[in-house]
Amino acid sequence: MNTNKIRNVVFDVGNVIVRWSPVEIVRLTFGYSAQEAEHKAKAIFQHDIWMALNKGQLTEQQAKQQYQSTLGLSEAECERLFYYIKETQIQIFGTVDLIKRLKQANYRIYALTDNVHEIVEHLKHRYDFWPLFEAATISAELGMLKPSADIYHSLLSSNNLIAQETVFLDDMPYNVDGAIQCELHAIQFSDAQLAEDALRELGLEF
Protein backbone atom coordinates (compact mmCIF):
# COMPACT_ATOMS: atom_id res chain seq x y z
CA MET A 1 0.00 0.00 0.00
CA ASN A 2 1.60 3.26 -1.12
CA THR A 3 1.05 5.75 1.66
CA ASN A 4 2.47 8.59 -0.43
CA LYS A 5 -0.70 8.67 -2.49
CA ILE A 6 -3.04 9.88 0.26
CA ARG A 7 -5.18 12.65 -1.19
CA ASN A 8 -8.14 12.79 1.19
CA VAL A 9 -8.20 13.57 4.92
CA VAL A 10 -11.42 12.78 6.81
CA PHE A 11 -12.10 14.26 10.24
CA ASP A 12 -14.47 13.13 12.94
CA VAL A 13 -16.05 16.17 14.65
CA GLY A 14 -16.63 15.38 18.35
CA ASN A 15 -13.35 15.43 20.32
CA VAL A 16 -11.43 16.08 17.10
CA ILE A 17 -12.68 19.50 15.97
CA VAL A 18 -14.96 20.41 18.89
CA ARG A 19 -15.03 19.14 22.46
CA TRP A 20 -17.54 16.44 23.41
CA SER A 21 -17.76 15.76 27.14
CA PRO A 22 -20.93 13.96 28.32
CA VAL A 23 -19.78 14.01 31.97
CA GLU A 24 -19.25 17.77 31.91
CA ILE A 25 -22.63 18.25 30.21
CA VAL A 26 -24.33 16.26 32.96
CA ARG A 27 -22.48 18.06 35.76
CA LEU A 28 -23.55 21.43 34.36
CA THR A 29 -27.13 20.25 33.84
CA PHE A 30 -27.75 18.54 37.18
CA GLY A 31 -24.98 19.76 39.50
CA TYR A 32 -23.81 16.22 40.25
CA SER A 33 -20.48 15.10 41.66
CA ALA A 34 -18.04 13.57 39.19
CA GLN A 35 -18.99 9.98 40.11
CA GLU A 36 -22.72 10.67 39.92
CA ALA A 37 -22.25 12.51 36.64
CA GLU A 38 -20.41 9.60 35.05
CA HIS A 39 -23.25 7.22 35.91
CA LYS A 40 -25.91 9.66 34.69
CA ALA A 41 -23.99 10.41 31.49
CA LYS A 42 -24.02 6.71 30.60
CA ALA A 43 -27.75 6.54 31.33
CA ILE A 44 -28.44 9.47 28.99
CA PHE A 45 -25.87 9.17 26.21
CA GLN A 46 -25.74 5.37 25.90
CA HIS A 47 -29.55 5.14 25.93
CA ASP A 48 -31.51 4.04 22.86
CA ILE A 49 -32.99 7.55 22.75
CA TRP A 50 -29.58 9.10 22.08
CA MET A 51 -28.75 6.40 19.55
CA ALA A 52 -32.04 7.08 17.73
CA LEU A 53 -31.33 10.82 17.78
CA ASN A 54 -27.88 10.20 16.28
CA LYS A 55 -29.44 8.04 13.57
CA GLY A 56 -31.92 10.75 12.65
CA GLN A 57 -34.89 8.68 13.85
CA LEU A 58 -35.96 11.34 16.38
CA THR A 59 -35.95 15.13 16.43
CA GLU A 60 -34.38 16.91 19.38
CA GLN A 61 -37.87 17.78 20.64
CA GLN A 62 -39.00 14.14 20.43
CA ALA A 63 -35.85 13.06 22.28
CA LYS A 64 -36.59 15.57 25.07
CA GLN A 65 -40.10 14.14 25.41
CA GLN A 66 -38.79 10.58 25.51
CA TYR A 67 -36.16 11.44 28.14
CA GLN A 68 -38.97 12.85 30.27
CA SER A 69 -41.20 9.79 29.90
CA THR A 70 -38.44 7.16 30.01
CA LEU A 71 -35.80 8.54 32.39
CA GLY A 72 -38.04 10.86 34.38
CA LEU A 73 -36.21 14.08 33.53
CA SER A 74 -38.22 17.27 33.97
CA GLU A 75 -38.93 19.59 31.07
CA ALA A 76 -36.53 22.17 32.56
CA GLU A 77 -33.77 19.54 32.94
CA CYS A 78 -34.17 18.56 29.30
CA GLU A 79 -33.92 22.19 28.20
CA ARG A 80 -30.74 22.63 30.28
CA LEU A 81 -29.33 19.33 29.02
CA PHE A 82 -29.63 20.24 25.35
CA TYR A 83 -28.42 23.79 26.02
CA TYR A 84 -25.20 22.42 27.53
CA ILE A 85 -24.90 19.71 24.87
CA LYS A 86 -24.45 22.53 22.36
CA GLU A 87 -22.70 25.18 24.47
CA THR A 88 -19.90 22.89 25.71
CA GLN A 89 -18.79 22.08 22.16
CA ILE A 90 -15.88 24.51 22.09
CA GLN A 91 -13.25 24.24 19.36
CA ILE A 92 -10.26 22.04 20.14
CA PHE A 93 -7.01 23.93 19.89
CA GLY A 94 -5.15 23.55 16.61
CA THR A 95 -7.45 21.28 14.59
CA VAL A 96 -9.03 23.93 12.36
CA ASP A 97 -5.59 25.38 11.68
CA LEU A 98 -4.42 21.89 10.70
CA ILE A 99 -7.39 21.50 8.34
CA LYS A 100 -6.65 24.87 6.71
CA ARG A 101 -3.00 23.98 6.13
CA LEU A 102 -3.95 20.62 4.62
CA LYS A 103 -6.39 22.36 2.29
CA GLN A 104 -3.72 24.85 1.23
CA ALA A 105 -1.55 21.86 0.30
CA ASN A 106 -4.43 20.62 -1.94
CA TYR A 107 -5.60 17.72 0.21
CA ARG A 108 -9.35 17.24 0.08
CA ILE A 109 -11.02 17.51 3.49
CA TYR A 110 -14.15 15.60 4.53
CA ALA A 111 -16.09 14.99 7.73
CA LEU A 112 -17.43 11.68 9.03
CA THR A 113 -19.41 12.17 12.23
CA ASP A 114 -21.97 10.44 14.42
CA ASN A 115 -24.06 13.54 14.94
CA VAL A 116 -27.51 15.00 15.43
CA HIS A 117 -29.27 17.27 12.90
CA GLU A 118 -29.78 20.08 15.42
CA ILE A 119 -26.18 19.91 16.70
CA VAL A 120 -24.83 20.07 13.14
CA GLU A 121 -26.94 23.17 12.49
CA HIS A 122 -25.65 24.71 15.74
CA LEU A 123 -22.02 24.05 14.75
CA LYS A 124 -22.57 25.50 11.27
CA HIS A 125 -23.93 28.71 12.78
CA ARG A 126 -21.45 28.96 15.68
CA TYR A 127 -18.18 28.25 13.89
CA ASP A 128 -16.67 28.80 10.46
CA PHE A 129 -15.04 25.38 9.92
CA TRP A 130 -17.93 23.56 8.21
CA PRO A 131 -17.33 25.14 4.75
CA LEU A 132 -13.79 23.71 4.84
CA PHE A 133 -15.27 20.25 4.14
CA GLU A 134 -15.73 19.08 0.57
CA ALA A 135 -18.63 17.07 2.02
CA ALA A 136 -19.79 15.69 5.36
CA THR A 137 -21.05 12.15 6.03
CA ILE A 138 -23.42 12.49 9.01
CA SER A 139 -24.99 9.57 10.90
CA ALA A 140 -28.36 11.31 11.31
CA GLU A 141 -28.67 11.66 7.52
CA LEU A 142 -27.86 7.98 6.90
CA GLY A 143 -29.46 6.18 9.85
CA MET A 144 -26.22 4.39 10.74
CA LEU A 145 -23.38 4.87 13.21
CA LYS A 146 -19.65 4.23 13.29
CA PRO A 147 -18.01 1.75 13.37
CA SER A 148 -20.49 0.08 10.98
CA ALA A 149 -18.73 -0.72 7.71
CA ASP A 150 -21.72 0.75 5.87
CA ILE A 151 -20.96 4.29 7.02
CA TYR A 152 -17.34 4.12 5.82
CA HIS A 153 -18.49 2.68 2.50
CA SER A 154 -21.04 5.51 2.23
CA LEU A 155 -18.27 8.07 2.81
CA LEU A 156 -16.19 6.51 0.05
CA SER A 157 -18.92 5.87 -2.51
CA SER A 158 -20.79 9.16 -2.13
CA ASN A 159 -17.57 11.15 -2.62
CA ASN A 160 -15.90 8.84 -5.17
CA LEU A 161 -12.97 8.26 -2.83
CA ILE A 162 -10.49 5.39 -2.94
CA ALA A 163 -9.93 3.90 0.53
CA GLN A 164 -6.14 3.60 0.10
CA GLU A 165 -5.96 7.31 -0.80
CA THR A 166 -7.89 8.33 2.31
CA VAL A 167 -6.94 8.79 5.96
CA PHE A 168 -9.48 9.10 8.78
CA LEU A 169 -8.93 10.78 12.17
CA ASP A 170 -11.17 9.83 15.11
CA ASP A 171 -10.73 9.91 18.88
CA MET A 172 -12.32 6.49 19.51
CA PRO A 173 -10.16 3.39 18.91
CA TYR A 174 -13.08 1.23 17.68
CA ASN A 175 -13.92 3.83 15.01
CA VAL A 176 -10.27 3.86 13.92
CA ASP A 177 -10.35 0.05 13.74
CA GLY A 178 -13.57 0.18 11.72
CA ALA A 179 -11.92 2.47 9.18
CA ILE A 180 -8.85 0.22 8.92
CA GLN A 181 -11.08 -2.81 8.32
CA CYS A 182 -12.55 -0.88 5.36
CA GLU A 183 -8.98 -0.35 4.06
CA LEU A 184 -8.68 3.33 4.93
CA HIS A 185 -5.63 4.66 6.70
CA ALA A 186 -6.63 5.79 10.18
CA ILE A 187 -5.19 7.76 13.09
CA GLN A 188 -6.47 7.89 16.65
CA PHE A 189 -6.74 11.59 17.48
CA SER A 190 -5.65 12.93 20.85
CA ASP A 191 -4.49 16.43 19.92
CA ALA A 192 -3.75 18.41 16.77
CA GLN A 193 0.05 18.34 17.06
CA LEU A 194 0.21 14.56 17.42
CA ALA A 195 -2.28 14.23 14.55
CA GLU A 196 -0.04 16.42 12.39
CA ASP A 197 2.98 14.27 13.26
CA ALA A 198 1.06 11.09 12.37
CA LEU A 199 -0.09 12.53 9.04
CA ARG A 200 3.49 13.46 8.15
CA GLU A 201 4.59 9.91 9.04
CA LEU A 202 2.06 8.70 6.46
CA GLY A 203 3.83 10.81 3.87
CA LEU A 204 1.54 13.84 3.70
CA GLU A 205 3.38 17.07 2.90
CA PHE A 206 1.93 20.37 4.05
Asked if 17 and 191 touch (Cβ cutoff 8 Å), the reply is no
* Cβ partners under 8 Å of residue 201, min gap 6: none
| pLDDT > 90 in the chain, percent | 97
Phi and psi angles of residue 95, each rounded to the nearest 5 degrees, phi first: -70, -45
Give the β-pairing of 135-138 and 108-113. Answer: parallel
In the prediction, which pLDDT does 34 show?
Answer: 86
Instruction: Name the pTM for this structure.
Output: 0.96
As a whole number, the mean pLDDT across the chain is 97
Q: Residue 8: name the closest of 131, 133, 180, 191 by CA.
A: 133
Q: What is the mean pLDDT of residues 63-80?
A: 98
Q: Which segments of 2-109 does DSSP mark as H helices, in order?
A: 22-30, 34-45, 48-54, 60-71, 75-87, 95-104
Q: What is the pLDDT of residues 102-157, one digit of tens each?
A: 999 999 999 999 999 999 999 999 999 999 999 999 999 999 999 999 999 999 99
pLDDT band at 2 (very low <50, low <70, confident <90, very high): very low
Q: Is the pLDDT of residue 200 over 70?
A: yes
In the prediction, which pLDDT does 4 show?
Answer: 52
